[in-house]
Amino acid sequence: MPAGHQGRNALPAGRPLTENFDTNALQVRVARSLKKGPVKVLVKPGWVEAIVNFKDDPKIGALPNPDDYLWETLDEHGNAKAEPAASCNAKTISSCKKSKLRIASPNEGERSYDRSSITHGHGNGTSGHDPVDNSVHDAVDEQLTKTNISEVPDEPFTVEVTEEQALGKKPIDPSHCQVLSKGHIVVPVDDHCLLQDYAVYIDPRSGTAYDASLNQCNASNNNNKFYRLQILFKEDNYKTWTRWGRVGLKGRGAILGTGSLDDAKQQFGKKFKDKSGLAWEDRTGRPQPEKYVFVEHSYGPAEAADSDSDGNDGSNSVDEDTNIAAEQNDRDPPECTLPIEVQRVMTLIFNRDHFNATMFSLNYDANKQPLGKLSQATILRGFQQLKDLAALMNNPTLASNQWNMTYTAATERLSNMYYSLVPHVFGRNSPPIINSEHHLQKEVELLQSLSDLKSTLDIMNIDRLDLVHPLDSYFNSLGLDEMSPVNHSSKEYDFLKKYLNNSKGTSHHISYEVYNIFRIRRKGEQQRFEAFKLGKVMSDKRLLWHGSRCTNFGGILNQGLRIVPPEAPVSGYMFGKGIYLADMSSKSANYCCPETSNREALLLLCEVELGDPLEVVRHASYHAGEKAKENGRCSTWGLGKTGPAQWVDAGKIHDSLRGVRMPAINAPAKRTNTNNAVLQYNEYICYDEAQVQLRYLFHVKI
């Protein structure tokens, strides 16, 4: 135990520090008497408390056993040994010694709040001592003055001060997060919590982080509320932190618990059950009526993690460090090895401004739930809520049979649950009730875009070496086998450009400026395509268009075109869940939404195995995919009023496309004379991802 240091009052009993650490103090004399070999041993801070209690309370009959308070390490042979006090570095001291400082509250009399330190195993301190710091109490008072956190009267509010502060030493700068072993993932302490030198508790057996964000949206009352729960620890001191309020404000907070882990878990579980209606173990279950909804976070690496996971401080929706411009540092940036044409596409896809514009256009509240913290699990739960809404719209009797309420009340309740999971921006307006097919489809589009945006952002947040240019790193992360610019003077380029321009619908009023066309191959996609089994139907391969927002292409190029998960409602898709393609480029271009990317857009030309498609001419056959499979088909053809006049072999573009059909580029589209057709142009829907392989990527201005 260190002795002879002078400092401020830092022990719970309020006695001077000089008395407690004086050479003749009882606890110091006992500690100095403990020996293993020629050196003194280092005891845990609990030893000091035990000795103080023994001295103050005459009812304690025996001196506590000092062997119960020894710090032990392993020697080079793996044997347990006591660590000498003289060799203990500042890392060990700062992470094991604490004391409490009572604070007088102007509201409830004497109160306390917790402030202590933890290093989480990152030993970067020094064992040297600085001059005595006499401003510990002033710093505490200043911090209390600055915070706007209000405490409830019956909940203790404790602060803990490191022994370095009490002894006048400058404390080691601690990590604010508990670092998980898997991929250096971090769980940040709530940014508005006073215990910034504590860490979020993670169950060592299950890996579960005791960190809960709860939201509640109510359309009728026009309110959005949040509730935050965390178990925080420093050494053997465990506290439950809670914060609550209206979204956009810091709200009020409280620290609960006696300091034991069991009590912290009990407080955490009780609060979670009270607010959500679910046990902590069932937190991802179906949201309960009139209760808060648990929103699962995606935890990133320490260097990419935001500080405020609730987004209540108006922070940027996508971190500045994900922007290419922010990748530069004081040194000269490494040279990019990509062709300039590919560089332009990478800059278009991995662009923070386009991310934010896309989320804004879809009314997504990225301040409340930053994209980097949005988990795929939350997106799937959002799909499930929309699926429940779709079922209710298709069968209104579910309102009374399943929800025991009117149809209007049921749609409002399900809409509230959805908005609680997936935050939206409505300004001062009440959240609109989702009660129409059109609105449902807009929300499905939002979740699809968020899923692709999330995939793209994950690529941007991958750790990179400074020796590699960011654009090279992004491109390499896509895992493409090929992305080759097509020569502008080649026959291949000429045919492709004509297919683009000659397949514009007269009703679309679209014009293109072609920047570049790329021949692309995704790793393993050709083998998957060739291995796809048609069954007994004949092969019918076509070269068709697919359009999407440029911000979605990080996920598309990395993972291919995907079918939405089972949690998504079928009613959000005109011909069921599948990959939608067109033979008119302008039909696909309408899905590019170039207004969010300075009119630049990306279009895909795909080789598609249709087999013998099930033809559909009527409007909205949501179960077309199921009907197609029942008839041994793998696709649906939604017949339009206008379509290609003639189909020709695409081998004219490239030898590898022989046997694949495409519209004749010199024959303009014409009326199909299909009776009862409600679609203006053809649509093709594939129900297996293996039916599609990407062949060309068009970079255009629309």
Catalytically active residues are 683
Beta strand 211-218 pairing with 293-295: antiparallel
Q: CA 455 to CA 640: how far, in whole Å? A: 34
Give one DSSP letter per residue of 350-417, joined into a string.
S-HHHHHHHHHHTTB-TTTS-GGGB-HHHHHHHHHHHHHHHHHHH-TTHHHHTSSS-HHHHHHHHHHH
Percent helix, strand, coil in the chain (nearest 5)? 35, 20, 45
Closest CA to 596 of 438, 445, 373, 471: 445
Q: What burial class does residue 481 get, using C-beta atoms within 10 Å of its C-beta: 0-12 exposed, 13-18 middle, 19+ buried?
A: exposed
Is there a contact between 435 and 393 (Cβ–Cβ < 8 Å)?
Answer: yes
Q: CA 543 to CA 568: how far, in whole Å? A: 28
Is residue 404 left, alpha or beta, with left meaning phi > 0 and alpha meaning psi from -120 to 50?
A: left
Beta strand 223-234 pairing with 237-246: antiparallel
Residue 205 has phi, psi (to 5 degrees) of -85, -45
Q: What is the end-to-end Cα distance of the chain in Å, rounded?
A: 74
Residue 507 has phi, psi (to 5 degrees) of -85, -5
CA distances in angstroms from 694 to 504, 662, 690, listed in the order given: 21, 15, 11
Closest CA to 456 of 557, 340, 590: 557
The three-state secondary structure class of 27 is: helix
Residue 518 corresponds to which tokens in the numbers above? Answer: 């790329």
Q: Which residue has the tokens 């191959």?
A: 521
**How many other CB atoms are found less than 10 A from the CB of residue 339?**
14
Residue 520 has phi, psi (to 5 degrees) of -125, 150
Helix 376-394, helix 407-421: angle, nearest 10:
170
Return the DSSP state at 499.
Answer: H
Q: What burial class does residue 540 get, using C-beta atoms within 10 Å of its C-beta: 0-12 exposed, 13-18 middle, 19+ buried?
A: middle
Q: CA 97 to CA 116: how far, in whole Å? A: 9
Give 185's strand partners: 301
Q: CA 697 to CA 606: how far, in whole Å? A: 9
- 3-state secondary structure string, 398-450? HHHHCCCCCHHHHHHHHHHHHHHHCCECCCCCCCCCCCCHHHHHHHHHHHHHH
The three-state secondary structure class of 61 is: coil
Q: Which residue has the tokens 């019918």?
A: 540
Return the DSSP state at 247.
Answer: T
Give one DSSP letter per residue of 91-153, joined into a string.
HHHHHH-EEE--EEETTTEEE--------TT--------PPP---HHHHHHHHHHH------T
Greatest pairwise CA separation for the chain in angstroms: 105
Q: CA 145 to CA 26: how far, in whole Å? A: 38
